[in-house]
Structure 1
Amino acid sequence: MAFGLYIHWPYCQSKCPYCDFNSHVATAISTERWIAAYRHEIRRVADSCPDEILSTIFIGGGTPSLMDPRIVDAIISEATSVWRTTNQLEISMEANPGSVEIDRFRAYSLAGVNRVSLGIQSLNDEHLRLLGRLHGRTEALKAIDVAQNVFARVNVDLIYARQHQTIDAWSGELAEAIALGTGHLSLYQLTIEDGTVFSKRHQAGLLHGLPREDTAVDMFELTQSMCEAAGLPAYEVSNHARPDQECRHNLIYWQGGRYAGIGPGAHGRLYQDGIRRATEAIRDPSAWLTAVETKGTGDLPDILLNSEDEVSEALLMGLRLTTGLDTSQRRSLQVDLDCWTSLNQMIDEGYLVRYGTVIRTTAPGRLLLNSVIGRLLQDIPQP
């Protein structure tokens, strides 16, 4: 199983009203302090798992494309010096299509980044305004064009089921996005997350024009069929890729692999004495930075995952993949599938299929994924 490194950059130029990620706005950032902190934490974590072979690095946020390229270079240089790497190391970075970020693309590429994920979100100027985005359609198209000339792999993020969006409008926008020729599309339905500006507006009855649930379902199904026909089939609930263009880092998450998480609020999954443990870093950027400098770590105490935790994670992550979950590859799911009552009921109901030790959702099952997983968790047979 592959091993990856996730780096969290916590800062954005502004906070989007739909976003519940650990992101903050700051007026001044010390590049040298962040370089030193990232380097220290990479070395500290590597000391606990020195024999891992690094196959992916993912720099997420926040808006990593606001980072000084020297920070990116320091992260990659440190990580590749403390761990051995695979011959095809994938180094991904999230980016926004603002002019400042575009100007830095070549510097990030020279530092080693070979895959970029562009937070386009929409190709419609009015809808970008409603989403609180600072860029416009023209900047988005320019960013995609520049990225395709700089990086080996390019992903475009789009949000649908937006305010005042019709299914015909989404069909046209998706067709345009597909025609741009990138190897990967991440296509997310707009969800109203607790604690966001959108959530507060929604509770106050001020978030107008959201599509009805049946319309959102139609948009999801349209998304699947259009991408499939264009050679970009779904390999995960919201992610579509051409052959060999899947995001290798995210596959580590979904397949239950090992990964280190470094940076404010970052999570990791590592092994200690054969037991899978969860790591989590302090969320507040200033507090994380100070803790690294004064205490030698920005992490909170590790949590050793029990069997129930591991089963929940295996189902929550593995069933997102269209290839499904191979229970024989997850030691927490070494169970008699024939005795799993809810599993077999949902197979009969058409929400799941089973091939030997592999279980996966059907198209109707993917629409009700959270409910399907909830039912499975109710009666898992004892091994």
Structure 2
Amino acid sequence: MTTSLALYVHWPFCVNKCPYCDFNSHVRVNVEQDAWRDALLADLAHEARLTPDFTLTSIFFGGGTPSLMPPESVAAIIESAAELWRTDPELEVTLEANPQSAEAAKFAALASAGVNRLSLGLQRFDDASLKFLGRMHDAGEGLRALEAAQAAVDRVSFDLITALPGDTLESFDAVLDRALSLGTDHISLYQLTIEPGTRFETMVRKGEFTPIDEELGAELFELTTERMTAAGLPPYEISNHARPGQESRHNLQYWRYGDYVGIGPGAHGRRGGMRTMRHRKPENFLSAMARNGNGLVEEAALDPREAAREALVMGLRLSEGLDVNAIEQRFGVAAVDRDAVALLQDKGLLERGDRLRLTQHGRLLNDAILAEIAL
């Protein structure tokens, strides 16, 4: 019996650091491309040796800004993965891309390298919002990049950031109009959150801007769900909308608590009952590769209670919900407080049949609900 496996490849470099970003991304003037390609290939081979009986179903190049990678390096990683694992005939290969012209010019080459799904960080359609978000592209450049992506591959997704200061229901409805007119089958919409350690956190602390209030944020979330569902792109996860059959297979592997391996600086993995983490800083990652032949900083057996909680946290984000009994059987521990679940069902926040899922209203309170029901 074989088990499905997803591969995550982290490219940590960016041209600049966006003020809202708390991802493991680094600005470097010079990147030795050959050295990085060789390091990622060696890290990949290490993980493949530990997962010989898995079937690879997806590859995801994330970052950072992986569209800064040379297409030749992307091709080498895809080809190596296909040699090291059995691969699904419908292998999904996604690469995150920024819309700057120089990167968009690579899309055809990336498709030739084996990428069959592009995910663009458009974020907004007006220059004022893009400037506020610290993006390096303007609105016209973003739309031209989307056209280039759609010409290069069949499957294209793009990200939007919602709940910016100054957003209203009327103004954001117009943003959704524009988004739905662009002909993609997958759109991710993330509410702006002020993450610790980011430039936006400093700006808010100094009073340079004020985030929108929670009530308006909830109304924008409800508007988004209604508009996207009516247009045939219902939410399959709290922030991700797709036409049926166009969901991200890679991300579903995470949310369904399947196995995945992560290579590159800061990449996490979960495979064969083990959790893994790579060195975050690029220089430390390369040193570990030279020293050990892999970039691992931590590798440990999954604690059953921790794993059950993680599976609950991930699965409850999905519109399909999760099978609590299957999780508890898999890890041999209780995962939810049944009394708390029953109480929240009575309040209309949870539904419980064969699977446990959030109601539409419950999605607005996801974190609070998890705190109530998780053991």
- Interval of TM-score (by shorter of Structure 1 and Structure 2): over 0.9
1:332 aligned partner, one-letter code? F
* Shift, 1:294, TM fit: 2.5
2:340 aligned partner, one-letter code? S
1:172 is paired with a residue whose SS is helix
CA distance in structure 2 between the partners assigned to 1:79 and 1:97 by the alignment: 27
Question: Deviations 1:117-166 (Å, cap 9, x if unpaired)?
Answer: 00000001100000000101001110111111111110010001002222
Question: Deviations 1:58-80 (Å, cap 9, x if unpaired)?
Answer: 00000000111111111111111
2:123–2:161: 8 Å Cα contact kept in structure 1?
yes
2:284 aligned partner: 287
Question: Deviations 1:53-103 (Å, cap 9, x if unpaired)?
Answer: 100000000000011111111111111110010110000000000011111
2:348 aligned partner, one-letter code? G
Change (3 A) 1:333 1:316: farther
1:61 aligned partner: 63
Aligned ranges 1:310-349 → 2 under 5 Å: 310-330=307-327, 331-332=330-331, 335=334, 340-349=338-347
* Shift, 1:2, TM fit: 2.7
2:305–2:335: 8 Å Cα contact kept in structure 1?
no
CA distance in structure 1 between the partners assigned to 2:333 and 2:348 by the alignment: 24
Once the two structures are aligned, what percentage of the paired residues are identical? Answer: 44
* Shift, 1:328, TM fit: 3.4
2:350 aligned partner: 352
Deviating more after overlay: 18-27 vs 144-153? 144-153
1:116–1:153: 8 Å Cα contact kept in structure 2?
yes
1:5–1:56: 8 Å Cα contact kept in structure 2?
yes
* Shift, 1:295, TM fit: 2.2
1:148–1:154: 8 Å Cα contact kept in structure 2?
yes
* Shift, 1:335, TM fit: 4.8
Match for 2:54 among 52, 55, 60? 52
1:328–1:334: 8 Å Cα contact kept in structure 2?
no
1:327–1:334: 8 Å Cα contact kept in structure 2?
no
Structure 2's unaligned 5+ residue stretches are none
* Shift, 1:329, TM fit: 3.1
Aligned ranges 1:196-211 → 2 under 5 Å: 196-208=198-210, 210-211=211-212
* Shift, 1:206, TM fit: 1.6
1:284 aligned partner, one-letter code? K
Match for 2:97 among 95, 98, 101? 95
* Shift, 1:41, TM fit: 0.8
1:221 aligned partner: 222
CA distance in structure 2 between the partners assigned to 1:301 and 1:133 by the alignment: 33
* Shift, 1:226, TM fit: 0.2
2:77 aligned partner: 75
2:305–2:333: 8 Å Cα contact kept in structure 1?
no
CA distance in structure 2 between the partners assigned to 1:332 and 1:227 by the alignment: 36
CA distance in structure 2 between the partners assigned to 1:250 and 1:179 by the alignment: 25
Match for 1:303 among 286, 300, 303? 300
Aligned ranges 1:145-224 → 2 under 5 Å: 145-208=147-210, 210-224=211-225
CA distance in structure 2 between the partners assigned to 1:57 and 1:152 by the alignment: 16
Pairing 1:3–2:2 present: no
2:17 aligned partner, one-letter code? K
CA distance in structure 2 between the partners assigned to 1:242 and 1:333 by the alignment: 36
CA distance in structure 2 between the partners assigned to 1:226 and 1:212 by the alignment: 21
Change (3 A) 1:2 1:329: farther
1:92 is paired with a residue whose SS is strand
2:297 is paired with a residue whose SS is coil
2:42 aligned partner: 40
1:185 is paired with a residue whose SS is strand
CA distance in structure 2 between the partners assigned to 1:111 and 1:252 by the alignment: 23
Change (3 A) 1:17 1:333: farther
Match for 1:374 among 364, 367, 371? 371
1:327–1:333: 8 Å Cα contact kept in structure 2?
no
CA distance in structure 2 between the partners assigned to 1:42 and 1:80 by the alignment: 11
CA distance in structure 2 between the partners assigned to 1:37 and 1:168 by the alignment: 49
> Which TM-score applies when normalising by structure 2?
0.97
1:267 aligned partner: 268
CA distance in structure 2 between the partners assigned to 1:333 and 1:174 by the alignment: 44
Deviating more after overlay: 292-301 vs 154-163? 292-301
* Shift, 1:177, TM fit: 0.6
2:304–2:333: 8 Å Cα contact kept in structure 1?
no
Structure 1's unaligned 5+ residue stretches are none
CA distance in structure 1 between the partners assigned to 2:207 and 2:366 by the alignment: 28
1:254–1:320: 8 Å Cα contact kept in structure 2?
yes
CA distance in structure 1 between the partners assigned to 2:333 and 2:147 by the alignment: 47
* Shift, 1:349, TM fit: 1.2
1:32 is paired with a residue whose SS is helix
1:66–1:100: 8 Å Cα contact kept in structure 2?
no
1:124 aligned partner: 126
1:247 aligned partner: 248
> Which TM-score applies when normalising by structure 1?
0.95
* Shift, 1:301, TM fit: 2.7
2:102 is paired with a residue whose SS is helix
1:319 aligned partner, one-letter code? L
1:18 is paired with a residue whose SS is coil
Aligned residues between the structures = 371
